[in-house]
Chains A and B, each alone.
Chain A
């Protein structure tokens, strides 16, 4: 099966175009946009790890190594599309328009961190694995029924393909031909379990065959391959053809979360064959004359100050409101809950 799903690349590890047909579609604006956002979320990611180490943030799920997959796919969306992320896809959601300080708040145990800007259809991150796939199908189905051109993307990892909801989501999407893109980041490991222990199939992309939908296997560290293949899948969806499964092959450079120690299950050598997505783009930019020291420096300064400002905003955020424990469970609070809330607030008042 593997030979049916060769890894699609546009740029190789040394930053040279391998598919010249994209030469005209790649311009300075796209290159800078991709680089800027990848740099921006990497700066965020590293800052988050530091904050966690300093006790200023809760347990955090880093995504370093997956920036091309997350930025390339998020930039391929239209503003009105729906995004159904997991807990490791905040690189994608920040790129799509989620507020950075809000994202820090999520990792600091604040429910406010789940709330996206009103004009962005970003679902709270799915924590139970693969459960978001059917949600994306439903939201996309609603768009189809309204006759819009909007579509949905569901992000998920390699481990998610073992869950029932993965199959149920793909099956529903293909039966009802809904405009959804299933975007898999195969980062090699589900916490400690490697892909070869996760499944007996050679690729994730081939699972699309079972659902009669197109499946593509792409180099998830090649931001151009990710961007153009995702765009293609969205065009296909918007034209009424239904879902696509994309397997973006990438590598989680760090731990599963800041509470995880990958040296227990991975050797230092593993993952060395993956060229860092930012380094790859940097090489491309140098090879093709897009590199501009001044612009790079400005981008670094801008992203660093944005992240620092987001940290300040997160840390200045008003303390959590106890009423929020009770206030968003029902539209109208049942009498027993009103009583529980009042009794607890009264108890706090007596302390």
Chain B
């Protein structure tokens, strides 16, 4: 039941960073390195973004590379498409995932399919960053976790880091990817934890999950803000003598099927945790992956601990919407005592 050590970064210069600082650092590095990079969004310039993700970037790189746009999500994504097909590498910030819906048409009908429609003549190497998730007592509509709308969409990749290290590495990988990538940033994790992050450039491979806790009785599969819930549940379960393995999926499309299959075949049980709504949630895809790869290894039906099929409630009730360690522990007990 050992906590896995962070990768050996002895030879690298590191700095203690929060997740939001790591995001800022990643953008700063690529802005300096690649003059095709252009950051667009609402309040991202002088104000440095409502979460300060772009703090200081306009000052350093100018208002034609870190651009305060009109309040217009479809306009931000639509013009980013034009910039991207004409040689630039836009990084568009959508202030909250719950506000991305006006741009949904642009993402669904153009961002994700220009490569296909033009047989790769035109491509859209752009990044869309969006803070997501509940649990920070934000006003209504600010707390959505609708990753499935985008994982269901062919032509775009979706990543969701839970740590500062992964946030910077995945963001840089996204900025260098030849295809569009949606980076979902768990607001709850923005400042919840600091860790040593290399100050230089590195990437975390898109499409690769990570074992963040090794165990032998049950595999917990989660991402983003749900990792800390899974960790707390694992600690409680350990007191009952249950050994939990935790996978931080990190990329939601394309999903790392191998890491899921390998872990579940070892533990023979799985609990999937996500804060998105239950029906049609990504958990269903993960159940399918386990079904396809590991059905005969299972000793119990797979359990899903998720948000409910209701809009994310106003914040005085959001704790009753979000999966809790206690709900996860119940899920673990259920699969253990099947």
Interface positions of A (Cβ within 8 A of B): 82, 111-112, 114-116, 118, 121, 123-124, 127-128, 131, 133-143, 145-146, 152, 164-165, 168-169, 171-172, 175-176, 324, 328-332, 334-337
Contacts and interface: CB of A to CB of B under 8 A. Distances in A.
Contacts of A137: 78-79, 82
Contact of A111 (B74, B80, B116): B116
Nearest to B177: A331
Contacts of A171: 70, 72, 75
Given A171-B72, A330-B157, 8 more contacts: A124-B114, A134-B77, A134-B79, A139-B82, A175-B70, A329-B113, A334-B207, A335-B254
A340 to B, nearest CB: 11
B287 to A, nearest CB: 15
Nearest to B102: A164
A133 B78 contact: yes
Contact of B82 (A111, A141, A175): A141
Contacts of B207: 334-335
B184 to A, nearest CB: 18
12 contacts: A134-B81, A135-B79, A137-B82, A138-B81, A141-B83, A142-B86, A145-B38, A165-B105, A169-B78, A171-B75, A172-B72, A331-B178
Contact of A168 (B72, B85, B90, B177): B72
Contacts of A335: 207, 254, 257
Interface in B239-257: 253-255, 257
B82 to A, nearest CB: 2
B39 to A, nearest CB: 13
Interface size class of B (residues with CB under 8 A): 35 or more
Contact of B78 (A116, A131, A142): A131
A110 to B, nearest CB: 10
B200 interface: no
Interface in B156-205: 157, 177-179
A179 to B, nearest CB: 12
A135 B78 contact: yes
Contacts of A152: 82
A142 B110 CA distance: 18
Contact of A331 (B69, B74, B83, B179): B179
| Residue picked from B79, B88, B117, B254, most chain A C-beta under 10 Å | B79
Given A138-B86, A142-B83, A142-B86, A114 B70 contact: no
A131 B78 CA distance: 7
Contacts of B84: 138
B256 to A, nearest CB: 9
Interface stretch (B25-33, B118-126, B307-315): B118-126
Contacts of B254: 334-337
A176 B64 CA distance: 9
Contacts of B83: 138-139, 141-142
Interface string B84-102: 1111101000000000001
A121 B118 CA distance: 12
Nearest to A145: B64
A115 B88 contact: no
Nearest to A336: B254
A127 to B, nearest CB: 8
Contacts of A165: 74-75, 78, 105-106
Nearest to B154: A329
Given A335-B254, A336-B254, A123 B122 contact: yes
Given A134-B75, A168-B72, A336-B255, A139 B85 contact: yes
A351 to B, nearest CB: 24
A232 B246 CA distance: 64
A176 B75 CA distance: 12
Given A134-B79, A164-B74, A330 B155 contact: yes
Contacts of B74: 134, 164-165, 168
A135 B81 contact: yes
Contacts of B109: 127-128, 131
B115 interface: yes
B155 A329 contact: yes
A114 B119 contact: yes
B88 A131 contact: no
A138 B80 contact: yes
Contacts of B121: 115-116, 118
Contacts of B157: 330
A155 to B, nearest CB: 15
B26 to A, nearest CB: 21
Contacts of A131: 78, 105-106, 109-110
Contacts of B86: 82, 121, 138-139, 142-143
B118 A114 contact: yes
Given A115-B118, A336-B254, A336-B255, A134 B78 contact: yes
